[in-house]
Amino acid sequence: MRSAAFYIGNGYVLKLSANLGKLKNHIQISKSLENVGLSSATPVKTANGREIVEDGDLYFCLTKRLEGLPVKSGDMYAGDSKSKARFVGEIIGQLSLALKNADAIVNDVNIYETCRNWALPKAKECMELPDAACKEYMEAFGQLYDKLPKQIIHRDPNPGNILLSDGKWGFLDFELSEKNVRIFDPCYAATAILSESFDESDSEKQKKWIEIYRNIIYGYDSVAKLTDEEWKAVPYVILCNQLICVAWFSEQEKYRNIFETNKKMLTWLLTVFEKLTFS
């Protein structure tokens, strides 16, 4: 077990982790968000003033429990999916603006280098990816990467980490937060929804997801205005994230089924790449 969380009554959550650095990340980011007026799962100090308690190889932290229920990927496809997707994009945009000024020390990550040096070569070991297409992708992404705004990001805004309650919203789990291209978060949210609902035989659902993806980006832009380079880079970040997923799951034997799903997702995303672009 690397990390877990347990409800304590109605008002608190006990987080435990084997990774002290990630738990400190969560605490720093949560306190920074609270300082700018956003709802956040900040720590509750012990009687002697500590925020983290160590017991053997595990670290414990009691935090406030945020109100609301997590977003469900399946619900994104029902009803007015455009409005739902735009709202998700908007709140990720609000989070992005808050994180821009967050006072926290996090790892500085270069996803272009990660993709070029590890994720793409690893994915090519597992799948038949055309060399010419891979080269074209890396060249195009490389020309954009240095021009993309970078800041602290959530890094894991999957639907389960987004809470909604009577018009209010909040985010859970900042353990993976890092400095990265800021559009990674809305792109990650879109692919997380896809991964939890992907069906290679359901063309209508695939079409609906593209609509969801585009409206997440439109919603994000309405709050955190995208640069011209970011508009061009969005589909490359989508593919970069998917390449990283394929590479990571390829090394996790216990997630074999998820690995196979992510390979199918990557193949499909490559076939619809032009539909992921914004003119």
What would the mean pLDDT of 86-99 be, rounded to a whole number? 94
Tokens of 60: 């414990």
CATH class given for the domain over 69-276: alpha beta
Residues 134/243, Cβ–Cβ less than 8 Å: no
Q: How confident is the model at residue 40 (pLDDT cuts 50, 70, 90)?
A: confident
Q: How confident is the model at residue 169 (pLDDT cuts 50, 70, 90)?
A: confident
- CA-to-CA distance for 42 and 24, rounded, in angstroms? 11
Fold of 3-64: Phosphorylase Kinase; domain 1 (3.30.200)
- CA-to-CA distance for 99 and 207, rounded, in angstroms? 32
Q: What percent of the chain has a predicted confidence (pLDDT) above 90? A: 76
- CA-to-CA distance for 95 and 41, rounded, in angstroms? 14
Q: How confident is the model at residue 2 (pLDDT cuts 50, 70, 90)?
A: low
Q: What is the pLDDT of residue 1?
A: 45
Alpha carbons within 13 angstroms on the beta-carbon side of residue 139 total 6
CB atoms within 10 A of CB 162: 23
How are the residues of the chain apportioned to helix, strand and coil, as percentages rounded to the nearest 5?
Answer: 55, 15, 30
Convert the pLDDT of each residue in 181-199 to its tens digit: 999 999 999 999 999 999 9
Convert the pLDDT of each residue in 123-136 to its tens digit: 999 999 999 999 99
- How many Å separate Cα 40 from the centre of its chain? 17
Q: Is 151 left (phi over 0), alpha (psi -120 to 50) or beta?
A: beta
Q: pTM of the full predicted structure?
A: 0.90
Q: What is the pLDDT of residue 83?
A: 96
Residues 61/23, Cβ–Cβ less than 8 Å: yes
Could you give the angle at the alpha carbon of 27 between the alpha carbons of 25 and 32, nearest 5°?
A: 95
- How many Å separate Cα 76 from the centre of its chain? 16
Q: What is the pLDDT of residue 33?
A: 82
Q: DSSP alpha helices (H): ranges in the chain?
A: 20-35, 81-100, 111-114, 120-126, 131-145, 184-195, 203-223, 228-250, 256-271
- CA-to-CA distance for 216 and 89, rounded, in angstroms? 4
Q: What is the pLDDT of residue 41?
A: 85
Q: What is the pLDDT of residue 92?
A: 95
Q: What is the pLDDT of residue 26?
A: 84
What would the mean pLDDT of 3-21 be, rounded to a whole number? 89
Helix or strand or coil: residue 217? Answer: helix
Eight-class DSSP state of 163: E
Q: How confident is the model at residue 114 (pLDDT cuts 50, 70, 90)?
A: very high
Domain ranges of the chain: 3-64, 69-276
